[in-house]
Amino acid sequence: KAFTLPKDWEGSVIWLDFEGSFRLTTVWINGAKVASHDCGYTPFRVRLDNITAVQLGQRNVIAIFVDPDNGDDGARTHASGWWYEGGGLYRHVNLVRASPVHVEQDGLFAYSNLTWPSHSAAATDDPSAVIHASAAITNAGVEAVSVCVAFHLLSPDGSVSATSLLLES
């Protein structure tokens, strides 16, 4: 497959996200082997902007080989457990672009601690909650920067109920 990344993407962080490929997946770009992934059940990501073979504004060629086999002896020595050995790309492959400073993939996390009134509490006591949130930020640029992350808790009607700011430098 041939593709061209726009020249104005220079300075961006660029990935190919493979949502699903069974089994041993090898990726080449412009003849250079750039990635190998040996699990048919997990997604994987290939960063493109730091690969010298990738040329912005020019034609690039990607080749993907997916080997569903477990080697010359098959399941006898590698125990795949599959009764039917299908293989190949079975989910989407997405091109993702981000700024050098960005939220990491799967980098947002939130959970809550709920407290319910005891049986002896007044009937008017409401439950309370504390919400914990975090964001993993990556700076792939060359200069240090300060980052402010804002978390907003929305009410069912869409209005902002609470806001928390986190400043990192």
pTM of the entire predicted model: 0.78
- Backbone φ and ψ for 73, nearest 5 degrees, come out as -95, 0
Asked if 141 and 101 touch (Cβ cutoff 8 Å), the reply is: yes
**pLDDT tens, residue by residue, 105-160:** 999 999 999 988 877 666 667 888 899 999 999 999 999 999 999 999 999 999 99
Q: Which of the 8 DSSP states describes residue 50?
A: T
Asked if 53 and 35 touch (Cβ cutoff 8 Å), the reply is: no
What is the per-residue pLDDT for 129? 86
